[in-house]
Structure 1
Amino acid sequence: MSLLRNIAASYRAPGPVLDRLLADGPREDRALALCMGGCIAMFVAQWPRLAREAHLTGDDLPMLLGASLMGIVFILPLVLYLLAGLTRLVAGVLGGQGSGYSARLALFWALVAATPIMLLYGLVGGFIGPGPAKSLVGALWCAAFLWIWIAGLLRSERGGESG
């Protein structure tokens, strides 16, 4: 199934989508690509908001973009790998049967699948600015991300694949 169809299907039933991704076997290259792709999309989503901020405050836009790039594209993937490891550790203590790879894939896929809402969040932040609309879209992104991640993690921990 294509990336876009998998993203759309993840909003209805994230478990089967993760099952399809896990069926290809442990592919760290795919996991890293999903992680980096999601982080790069998140970085791009920040551009409208950062442009607005630079315009309103007089800050240097390239400086804001550089700081965002460093935080989102270079540091966030490390944090995500650590978070996936911690969730796998907790799931293992609670009797989960998944693997480190399945925990990483569940987290990284949730990041990628929630990207369309993150892009909308960036547009709202850039064109409308702070307010109820931005808060609503941010809450929607958090809910979608958590829904897809938790459902995928639960599915992978019941699966019992090795790797």
Structure 2
Amino acid sequence: MSVSTDIAAMYRRPAEVLRRLLSREVSEPRALAYLMGACALMFVARLPALSREVSLSDPERWAREPGAYSEALQPVMGGTLLATLIFLPLIFYVIAFVVQIILRAFGRKLGGYDMRLVLFWSLLAAAPLALLNGLTAGFVGPGPALTIVGVLWFAVLLWFVATGVREAHRLAGESA
């Protein structure tokens, strides 16, 4: 199935999609592509909020000086791009490693690739809610709506990761 079809299917049958992804041949480039796609979408999700923050910072100046808004927005976008496409993937690799170690401490022997695939795919599959969170941050701003959407995004991400860990553990038990 295509990535977009699998993302949609994750919201209906996450165990089935994750079982199919985990049963494929090991491919670090595929896992990295999932992670980079998720991080790229997280960057896009941040853009409305960044635009809102910059536009509210000095509206009189933006009206007075043509091009000043663009000049103020570009460094903020550049910093966010650096953070989401360079540093965030490294952080998610560390998170995958730490979660794998914690799971081993609780008796769940999960391979490093399986944990990375589960986490990275879960991030990509939850990206539509991250985009909704970004739109809410940009158009509505801070408040209960943003909190609700953020909690929903995080809950879905945890649901996907937990389902993936369970399916990876189940597949490892079947092959042993």
Q: Deviations over 1:33-62 (max 9, x none)?
A: 000000010001100110010000138211
- In 2, the alpha carbon distance for the partners of 1:86 and 1:15 equals 23
With 124-133 and 9-18 compared, the bigger mean Cα shift is at 9-18
Q: Secondary structure at the match of 1:43?
A: helix
The aligned residue for residue 20 of structure 1 is 20
Is 1:33 matched up with 2:33?
yes
More deviation in 73-82 or 11-20? 11-20
Report how far residue 136 of structure 1 moved: 1.0
Aligned residue identity for 1:20: R
After TM superposition, the structure 1 = structure 2 runs for residues 93-112 of structure 1, keeping only pairs within 5 Å, are: 93-112=105-124
Aligned residue number for residue 66 of structure 2: none
**Match of 2:139?**
127
Question: C-alpha distance in 1, partners of 2:131/2:99?
Answer: 26
Q: What is the alpha-carbon distance in structure 2 between the residues aligned to residue 139 and residue 94 of structure 1?
A: 26
Q: Which one has a bigger Cα radius of gyration?
A: 2
| 1:110 partner amino acid | S
Cα separation, 2, equivalents of 1:45 and 1:53: 14
Query: 2-11 vs 29-38, which deviates more?
Result: 2-11
Query: Residue 142 of structure 1 aligns to which amino acid in structure 2?
Result: F
Could you tell me how far 1:12 is from its partner in structure 2? 2.6
Report the identity percentage: 44
CA–CA distance in structure 2, aligned partners of residues 128 and 89 of structure 1:
39
Could you say which residue in structure 2 is the equivalent of 1:141?
A: 153
Q: Any idea what the Cα deviations from partners look like across 1:113-135, whole Å, max 9, x if unmatched?
A: 10001111111111111111111
Q: Is residue 77 of structure 2 the alignment partner of residue 65 of structure 1?
A: yes
Deviation track 1:52-104 (CA, whole Å, cap 9, x = no partner) reads: 10000138211111111121111010011111111112222322233110000
User: Secondary structure of the residue that 1:38 maps to in structure 2?
Assistant: helix
- Shift, 1:142, TM fit: 0.6
Q: How many residues align?
A: 162
**Runs of 4 or more consecutive aligned structure 1 residues displaced over 6 Å after TM superposition:** none
For structure 2, list consecutive stretches of 5 or more residues without a partner in the other structure. Answer: 59-68
Q: TM-score, normalised by structure 1?
A: 0.93
Unaligned residue ranges in structure 1 (runs of 5+): none
In structure 1, what is the equivalent of residue 168 of structure 2? 156
